[in-house]
Amino acid sequence: MFQNKKESLLVRADNIIKLSAFDLTTLKEVMTDYNSDYAKDLLALYSFTGGVPKYVELSCDNKMLTVDEMIAFMVRENSLFTEEGKHLLIEEFGKNYATYFSILSAISGGINTQPEIESALGNKSLDGQVKRLIEDYNIIVRQRPILAKEGSQAVLI
């Protein structure tokens, strides 16, 4: 932030630490330390954590190193993974995050057409939010039912 030599000494950075995710070689070493039979679980650890050291540390410290243990650990109630995901979505969605969460909740509850979702949420027009969830965030997709004709309006979310 204040790396320029012309910045005052008071606000100039003394040290800068650049953190990055672990690469596969490092993750392999970590898995070897915690689990000698890591072959099938290494891909899961990398997939679930992205190599982020804090997430790897949480999995290792809690001895959640098999695929099934990692999944159970991530989706348990009050998991750091779900809480952090929720906070990131709130930050990304901004002040209208409640509407986005309501849309996603309706979809997860089996309401899968836009008119049904709008009806469930008090007949509010949700065109903009649904469009952003599809195009900007890639969280949901529109799909036409298998037997629906090409020009029909029957589109599932």
How far is 90 from 92, CA to CA, in rounded Å? 5
**Residue 139: pLDDT band with limits 50, 70, 90:** confident
24 and 42 Cβ atoms separated by less than 8 Å: yes
Q: Is 60 exceeded by the pLDDT of residue 7? A: no
What tens digit of pLDDT does each residue of 23-54 get?
888 888 888 888 767 777 888 888 888 888 88
What tens digit of pLDDT does each residue of 93-131 get?
889 899 999 999 999 999 888 888 899 988 888 888 988
pTM of the model as a whole: 0.59
Extents of the domains making up the chain = 1-76, 81-157
